[in-house]
């Protein structure tokens, strides 16, 4: 059970919030810097850290996981792995 784990809602529905995080992460990976609010950045950090940790060990399952989290954006996935 995940008691006590808090996530900011950012005044969005869960699907909109997830899409926002995915789009922000793609922008961060491609451009390496982004301008956003502190609340969004604080929510984005654990999302990106999980992807970077997975990218450190290069295998097929990790590539598929990262592609699924990045809307199948191959450019961002390539940049993350190399």
In tens, the pLDDT along 42-77 reads: 999 999 999 999 999 999 999 999 999 999 999 999
Helices 14-31, 38-56: axis angle to 10 degrees equals: 70
In tens, the pLDDT along 16-45 reads: 999 999 999 999 999 999 999 999 999 999
State the Cα–Cα distance between residues 82 and 9, nearest whole angstrom.
33
CATH homologous superfamily for the domain 14-81: Ribosomal protein L17 (3.90.1030.10)
């Amino acid at each position: 059970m995940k008691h006590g784990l808090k996530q900011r809602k950012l005044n969005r529905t869960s699907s909109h919030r997830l899409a926002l995080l995915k789009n922000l992460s793609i922008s961060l990976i491609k451009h390496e810097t982004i301008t956003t609010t502190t609340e969004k950045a604080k929510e984005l950090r654990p999302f990106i850290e999980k992807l970077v940790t997975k990218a450190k060990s290069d295998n097929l399952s990790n590539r598929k996981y990262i592609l699924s989290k990045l809307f199948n954006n191959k450019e961002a996935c390539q940049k993350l792995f190399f």
